[in-house]
Structure 1
Amino acid sequence: MDTATSRQAAPAAGVEHFDFLIVGAGISGIGAACHLRKRFPQGSFVILDAMAGFGGTWWTHRYPGARSDSDLYTYGYSFKPWRGSSIATADEIRTYLSEVIAENDLAPRIRYGHKVTAADWSSRDQRWTLTVSRADTGETLTFTTGFLWMCAGYYDHNRGYTPEWPGMADFRGQIVHPQHWPEDLDCAGKRVVVIGSGATAATLIPALADKVAHVTMLQRSPTFFAADPRAHPLEAPLRALDLPDDWIHEIMRRAHIAKAGEVVRMSFEQPDDLRAFLIDQARAHLPAGFDVDRHFNPAYRPWQQRIAVVPDGDLFAAIRSGKASVVTDAIGRFDASGVQLASGEHLDADIIVTATGFNMQFFGGAPFSIDGEPVDFTQRVTWRGMMIEGVPNMAYVLGYFRASWTLRSDLISDLMCRVIEHMRREGRTVVEPTVTADDADMPRLPWMDPKNFNAGYVMRAQDHLFRQGDRAPWRHQLEYGEEMSALPAVQADEAALAYR
């Protein structure tokens, strides 16, 4: 054990102690574990996950057609080549993650069905104590750690977001949220109404179209869609050259980063041009006479909400075939046989799917305290979108909205490992983001500026989230194009990080 770790108090009897404790066995937690294992081979660590298996969102989401909306060359790790098509299914992603777990010998270090219910920092002991509920036995367990790494994502896995509409109890069919898709749900020959038009609806509808009698996408307002090819045009030529997998992975990764970066640039600098491109792309895939401006021309700026990918235009193909349709209207009420719309139209349904989004929840919903005092995160600002002001020895992973989540996960892991290395070199045991005197007058801004990104799930949660400042290093939600060079250049001894 290194000198810094040995200065901390010994764990109490019956308590498991680890140098590092990761919460979440999804893409972020598995990635963080790989970085820790490489950079601190003598360090002990464990991963706790509340669910019964690894994968995070890919464990939760079991609805038909579940897939990534991001390409896997950038959603995959920088250190693990992706060998499939750019767009992958949930099962393919879980297979990839299982390989990462096996190749890095992580399986013995993951505890499933372990939900963190409280986290308390002790300044005297210089460690976190986590209260954990074990699903299979009902026991309450205690873990301690010198450094806590929160990788539980940003939404509530247990409760999807479903608005309350009048008459829902009157509907004689079945109402399903995609986050809680029943394994035995039989949609064959049924009339299905999918409420919502985001990435989940765009995935679900093509997967259902050939099985159901008809599927209708009911949206209150339009969404932007991008009909990207399922496989990047560079993939086949590169694989034909029989290049090493890591070469192909890096080339494809750079190609996807460049393309995504250009779309983001246009969304800010040439939003009208990008809007016209996306609408024209949709029109080219849809039948003649389809009202594209009504159904696929949102009021917001492109990328002010997510641009949902429809691989090879599969959503548009389902509409073109007549098996799927789009209705843009407000819901008046549910009734016994379907949905009554504000316009007076009625949608008959046997099954209604509420693809209406999710509830944001950080840190797995566990309450935090420092020396017994509850932490009110709404009164604190983020340090570079990965630590919280005044919260010692705790990092969290939050990915990008406009680029693959894992691009940022990798950057965070690298920077946090450098911070920990600095602590160990200097013989320190604690690192705590601290607002300096120069920044004391900094305004405490909302978690997200609606002019930047205004998706419903973000706007609903603003009052419950931590804040950001108006300057570095207290800002977050930057773009990958900014952070790909900025974060590796951050010095571990910068003034905003107080070590002791």
Structure 2
Amino acid sequence: MSATLSTPVEVELDVLIVGAGLSGVGTAWHLQHRCPDQSYLVLEARESLGGTWDLFRYPGIRSDSDMYTFGYAFRPWTDGKVFADGPSIRNYVNDTAEEAGISEHIRYGHKVVGAHWNTEDARWTLEVAVDEFDEIKRFRSKFMVLCSGYYRYERGYMPDFPGMADFKGDIIHPQLWPENYDYSGKRVVVIGSGATAITLVPSMAEKAAHVTMLQRSPSYVAARPSVDKTADFLRKILPSKAAYGLTRIKNVLQAILVFQLSRRWPDWVKKGVLKAIQDELGEDFDVEKHFSPSYRPWDQRFCLAPEGDFFQVLKSGEADIVTDQIERFTETGIELKSGETLEADLIIPATGLDMLVGGGIDISVDGEAFNAPEHVTYRGMMLSGVPNAALAFGYTNASWTLKVDLTAERVCRLINHMKTRNLDYVVPVPPEDLETLPLLDFSSGYVQRALPTLPRQGATTPWRTYQNYIQDMLAIRFGKLADGHVRFGTAGDQVFDAREPYREAAE
């Protein structure tokens, strides 16, 4: 589906934001406050705001990052819960949009299917499917910010397990959880060991007859308090914004410390994590088998259990954990490689996401198709050879929103810089001899499956995507815009080749 050149341009603006989730609303707020003269729209494919936090409706859906860093820097999280449930986060994003007047700039049911840059007029033309995606409209803007998340909304990752068609019960992927589904009294098997599984098991245990978490290999799981005592104390003696800011700084530094300890002394950190689990579950529980991963701490994200709820249902017998591999599905459950059979009425493959950076939009630059693996990231927020476009992509080892806030700040700085100097575009252009690396140094299955389709990162600054908020904050918030790694230009000034982005840099 593609718009023809004869299709009239519906709207022309300064900035188009793709996606009305946590990232899109946050970016819109920064635009309004830092670039108040810039016109903008937020284009959202779905019929409601909230992104992930509106789409995912499985039992117990919650954040796996603390809300004092997952919340926006500009709007204090005042709910009190460290790990908020999905509806609370959705309300937080919605309230932010309403209070700031962002809601009137959102166009729902507008799915961006194409984005095409033309240097002659220094504009993006976006092809947008509307009216149940039967009609294509064209929107033009000077700058584009992709806030569509990092995974495919239409479906999650589903392995082709042998015998799935034989199973007589229900099979439901968490990403497609049906509203009002009743699992009361059912025997439930949750396949997976990631954050979704660790959330599902305790939340379903109360109503289900029994819940079994079936994992091929363990993940790191840590109990965390659901209340931040420091935050509660600071709120009593300081204005809410100051208390929130100090709590945010404390939690950022704490997360950096844990990550650095995990990188430098992984065996020591692992030993501490396993000891804490053993203390939770008792000496008779086989912690080594079920909770000792083959990878180092923070090679994948930690799974967090608020108030140790996951461990509590294991101790109570309402749930159990099985570490084994699937031989096949049967009519009544799952047969394992060990020969054991798990009887089930409901099987939930919490098997992860399909990564899809940029929402799968067909992108071109001056008529040349964009092929992500041929490009490298600049400061974790722009792509080589792609002018006037930013990508909201968060951290793997910290809260998503920390990096999104910084990206929005940098975009606003760039827009203001170009306006005051009568420039039309900015494009990252790396050196010809830049060594490149995979975009993410993360062993999670969803990342490894997607790496061949993703942009790459450079081995050196500013092409290296560092997973460090303090380092990024200093560089993105205060670093020079004209840093020798980007080129600024005016309409019609062709200074790069999207097919060979490195060669033009050398010339």
TM-score, structure 1 as length reference: 0.94
Who is 2:492 aligned against?
none
Letter in 2 for 1:208: M
Structure 1 unpaired stretches of 5+: 1-10
Q: Are the aligned partners of 2:68 and 2:247 in contact in 1 as well (CA < 8 Å)?
A: yes
> Within 2, Cα distance between the matches of 1:19 and 1:419?
13
Who is 1:245 aligned against?
240
Residue 193 of structure 2 corresponds to residue 201 of structure 1: no
Who is 1:120 aligned against?
116
Instruction: Write the deviation string for residues 453-475 of structure 1: whole angstroms up to 9, x where unpaired.
Output: 21111100111011111111111
Deviation at 1:121, TM superposition (A): 0.8
Who is 1:473 aligned against?
462
Who is 1:38 aligned against?
33
Who is 1:5 aligned against?
none
Q: Are the aligned partners of 2:466 and 2:472 in contact in 1 as well (CA < 8 Å)?
A: no
The equivalent position to 1:226 in structure 2, one of 222, 232, 240, is 222
Letter in 2 for 1:460: R
Identity of aligned residues (%): 45
The equivalent position to 1:441 in structure 2, one of 422, 426, 433, is 433
What SS does structure 2 have at the residue aligned with 1:276? helix
> Within 2, Cα distance between the matches of 1:165 and 1:204?
21
> Within 1, Cα distance between the matches of 2:438 and 2:77?
37
Who is 1:8 aligned against?
none
Q: Are the aligned partners of 1:443 and 1:469 in contact in 2 as well (CA < 8 Å)?
A: yes
Where do 1:30-429 residues align within 5 Å? 30-84=25-79, 85-136=81-132, 138-241=134-237, 243-429=238-424
The equivalent position to 2:446 in structure 1, one of 437, 457, 461, is 457
> Within 2, Cα distance between the matches of 1:202 and 1:425?
50
Q: Are the aligned partners of 1:152 and 1:364 in contact in 2 as well (CA < 8 Å)?
A: yes
What SS does structure 2 have at the residue aligned with 1:108? helix
What SS does structure 2 have at the residue aligned with 1:93? helix
What SS does structure 1 have at the residue aligned with 2:478? coil
> Within 1, Cα distance between the matches of 2:433 and 2:301?
33
Q: Are the aligned partners of 2:219 and 2:291 in contact in 1 as well (CA < 8 Å)?
A: yes
> Within 2, Cα distance between the matches of 1:167 and 1:150?
39
Judge which range, 484-493 or 61-70, deviates more.
484-493
What SS does structure 1 have at the residue aligned with 2:201? helix
Instruction: Write the deviation string for residues 362-418 of structure 1: whole angstroms up to 9, x where unpaired.
Output: 111111011222111211111111111111110111100111111111111111211
Deviation at 1:86, TM superposition (A): 1.3
> Within 1, Cα distance between the matches of 2:394 and 2:215?
27
Deviation at 1:13, TM superposition (A): 4.2
Instruction: Write the deviation string for residues 299-354 of structure 1: whole angstroms up to 9, x where unpaired.
Output: 10000001011000000011111000000000000010000000000000000000
CA RMSD of aligned residues (A): 1.4
Letter in 1 for 2:378: W
Letter in 1 for 2:417: H
> Within 2, Cα distance between the matches of 1:39 and 1:393?
17
> Within 1, Cα distance between the matches of 2:275 and 2:146?
42
> Within 1, Cα distance between the matches of 2:217 and 2:379?
34
> Within 1, Cα distance between the matches of 2:269 and 2:437?
29
> Within 2, Cα distance between the matches of 1:430 and 1:235?
43
Q: Return closer, same or farther for 1:160/1:168 CA change in 2, 3 Å cut-off.
A: same
Q: Return closer, same or farther for 1:341/1:152 CA change in 2, 3 Å cut-off.
A: same
Letter in 2 for 1:161: Y
> Within 1, Cα distance between the matches of 2:488 and 2:96?
33
What SS does structure 1 have at the residue aligned with 2:307? helix
The equivalent position to 1:484 in structure 2, one of 452, 459, 473, is 473
Q: Are the aligned partners of 1:114 and 1:132 in contact in 2 as well (CA < 8 Å)?
A: yes
Deviation at 1:288, TM superposition (A): 4.1
Who is 1:6 aligned against?
none
* Equivalent residue pairs, number: 483
TM-score, structure 2 as length reference: 0.93
> Within 2, Cα distance between the matches of 1:482 and 1:41?
28
Letter in 1 for 2:213: M
Q: Are the aligned partners of 1:448 and 1:477 in contact in 2 as well (CA < 8 Å)?
A: no
What SS does structure 1 have at the residue aligned with 2:68? helix
Instruction: Write the deviation string for residues 223-266 of structure 1: whole angstroms up to 9, x where unpaired.
Output: 0011010111213333343x311121012112211221111011
Judge which range, 356-365 or 375-384, deviates more.
375-384
Deviation at 1:485, TM superposition (A): 2.1
Deviation at 1:195, TM superposition (A): 0.1
Q: Return closer, same or farther for 1:299/1:207 CA change in 2, 3 Å cut-off.
A: same
> Within 1, Cα distance between the matches of 2:349 and 2:47?
25
> Within 1, Cα distance between the matches of 2:484 and 2:254?
36
> Within 2, Cα distance between the matches of 1:63 and 1:199?
12
Q: Are the aligned partners of 1:131 and 1:142 in contact in 2 as well (CA < 8 Å)?
A: yes
> Within 2, Cα distance between the matches of 1:477 and 1:397?
15
Q: Are the aligned partners of 2:9 and 2:139 in contact in 1 as well (CA < 8 Å)?
A: no
Deviation at 1:488, TM superposition (A): 2.1
Who is 2:504 aligned against?
none
Q: Return closer, same or farther for 1:308/1:384 CA change in 2, 3 Å cut-off.
A: same
Deviation at 1:445, TM superposition (A): 2.2
> Within 2, Cα distance between the matches of 1:489 and 1:187?
52
> Within 2, Cα distance between the matches of 1:268 and 1:382?
24
> Within 2, Cα distance between the matches of 1:239 and 1:60?
32
Q: Return closer, same or farther for 1:176/1:210 CA change in 2, 3 Å cut-off.
A: same
Deviation at 1:491, TM superposition (A): 0.7
What SS does structure 2 have at the residue aligned with 1:33? helix
What SS does structure 2 have at the residue aligned with 1:120? strand
> Within 2, Cα distance between the matches of 1:14 and 1:432?
24
What SS does structure 1 have at the residue aligned with 2:308? helix
> Within 1, Cα distance between the matches of 2:45 and 2:314?
39
Deviation at 1:97, TM superposition (A): 1.1
Deviation at 1:283, TM superposition (A): 1.4
Q: Are the aligned partners of 2:213 and 2:321 in contact in 1 as well (CA < 8 Å)?
A: yes
Deviation at 1:136, TM superposition (A): 3.7
Structure 2 unpaired stretches of 5+: 1-5, 490-507
Letter in 2 for 1:355: A
Judge which range, 130-139 or 469-478, deviates more.
130-139
What SS does structure 2 have at the residue aligned with 1:310? strand
Q: Return closer, same or farther for 1:12/1:359 CA change in 2, 3 Å cut-off.
A: closer
Deviation at 1:14, TM superposition (A): 4.6
